Amino acid sequence: MLKRKSSGVQPTEITPRSVYLNRRAFMTGAAAAAIAGVLAPSEEAYADNRLTTVKSPLSLTGVQPTSLQDITHYNNFYEFGTNKDDPAREAYRLKTRPWTVSIEGKVQKPQKIDIDSLMKLRPLEERIYRFRCVEAWSMVIPWVGYSFSELIKEVQPLPEAKFVQFISLDDPNQMPGLRFSPISWPYSEGLRMDEAMHPLTLLTFGLYGEPLPNQDGAPVRIVVPWKYGFKSAKSIVKIKFVEKQPHTTWNDQGPNEYGFYSNVNPNKDHPRWSQKTERVIGASIFKQRQPTLMFNGYEDQVANLYTGMDLKKYY
């Protein structure tokens, strides 16, 4: 059962906009986009694009969110390049309107739904979550969305649906990284049905109270906070309910390095580095290296999903 230990986050606990919306960061982004012939969104444009959110009892309290500058300029999004700063520089090409998400497979109500209707399906919540990358770095991010289980209930899966697969956009004209990477596209990720139904699994449309920046997976992504970040598929165009465990991109690339489950586990090292500690992006020099928490700190809420499983074998 989910243990709701914390109350909703108060506005005073979130980094002030005057801190994270620093003009220099946006001017840098604007200059880069202008070189490519496109003007990046201004600070004022972000300020006018606020999402209406409600408090969530699932949000962390007493933590300092990572700055918007770091969240939007230190990214893994190989469709736009393999360097951490490539997505911030290249993702201006992504067009997020119009956008539809196709719901397919073993459901009673298959459908194509446009992004704005999808956003309005349930009230949007702001949830501050820990985010842990398999490369042993971490952030704290105030995401905006609602539990993915709400969409699952809406489309009514059939009894034979045991897994959910997420397929990302695959468009080389908008995503230059697709032309150069040896990865087999489109990006695919998946969850077991009980993982997908867990209240913490977030269908995500924004961060810091505003729509997702392109480099962070606009216009819709999934966020699974107890798993490594690559499990949280970005720029989703298709959601499939399937009987068998779906193929997933990184598990295809290196099954000995990237398991299907990929739960954050300090006791299961990556073959090429330790997972016992993590580097906290944006933290002071004295707090950058911290111990990795089992299930990224969500053990009380999700450990019951894996009762009896050998988490070193099913990594």
> Average pLDDT, stretch 269-283?
97
Domain span at 77: 11-306
Q: From CA 263, how far away is CA 293, in angstroms rounded?
A: 11
* Nearest Cα residue to 231 out of 183, 190, 286, 175: 190
CATH of residue 194's domain is 3.90.420.10
Domain tally, the chain: 1
Contact 30, 40 (CB under 8 A): yes
- Asked, for residue 52, whether it belongs to a domain, the answer is yes
pLDDT tens digits along 36-57: 433 334 334 444 689 999 999 9
- Asked, for residue 106, whether it belongs to a domain, the answer is yes
For residue 12, the model assigns a pLDDT of 34
pLDDT tens digits along 54-110: 999 999 999 999 999 999 999 999 999 999 999 999 999 999 999 999 999 999 999
Phi, psi of 281 (to 5 degrees): -65, 130
The burial of 213, by beta-carbon neighbours within 10 Å (0-12 exposed, 13-18 middle, 19 or more buried), is given as: buried
For residue 48, the model assigns a pLDDT of 61
pLDDT at 133 over 70: yes
- Asked, for residue 315, whether it belongs to a domain, the answer is no
Indicate the SS3 state at residue 116: helix
pLDDT classification of 287: cutoffs 50, 70, 90: confident
- Asked, for residue 5, whether it belongs to a domain, the answer is no
